[in-house]
Structure 1
């Protein structure tokens, strides 16, 4: 499974790169603070909403600590998606939040 650090994600965003981030946390967690412009698909709904994703695009999966996003990364890889887990999740995030 591919992984990227929160710091690397933050640097890429600050450099103007448009990333496809998916937050797999629950609604209340996302409302408490999330990375700007992130797509929200709770882990439990991923199998029902993966039709919204484009296999031609790379995705970075985000959760609180990296566990649920790791599960999501593994799941989507099994369906041929290009996905990377953000290691450490939002606990490691030092960038802007909304």
Structure 2
């Protein structure tokens, strides 16, 4: 186990835990980025419009795993969702996340 895993917990384990709770995958890249490749079954809500979609996300009543191209935007999205009472985790880059699912 690496130092980062020790300090933050194993990200793969957290992702698996969220999956066991029927989490949705929320891809916060732009529509054009998403259309170039994405995790099957994921939902695309670009980070720029996320604040306007929080009520709809909360109505789903499911935890959320966010992803983007590198993990930066998805980190921001997870922070926004958590601040609004949504159980969310940053899954990082979509391609890397797809290998963990």
- For normalisation by structure 2, the TM-score amounts to 0.72
Distance 1:73 1:17, change over 3 A: closer
The equivalent residue for 2:79 is 74
Q: Which has the higher contact order (CA 8 A, sep 6+)?
A: 1
If each structure's helix is expressed as a fraction of its own residues, which one has the higher value? 2
* Higher-Rg member (1/2): 2
Deviation at 1:51, TM superposition (A): 1.3
Contact preservation (8 Å) 1:3, 1:84: no
Aligned structure 1 segments of 4 or more residues deviating by more than 6 angstroms: none
Deviation at 1:59, TM superposition (A): 0.5
**Matched positions, count:** 90
Deviation at 1:49, TM superposition (A): 1.1
RMSD over aligned CA atoms reads: 3.0
Separation (CA, whole Å) in 2 of partners of 1:82 and 1:17:
11
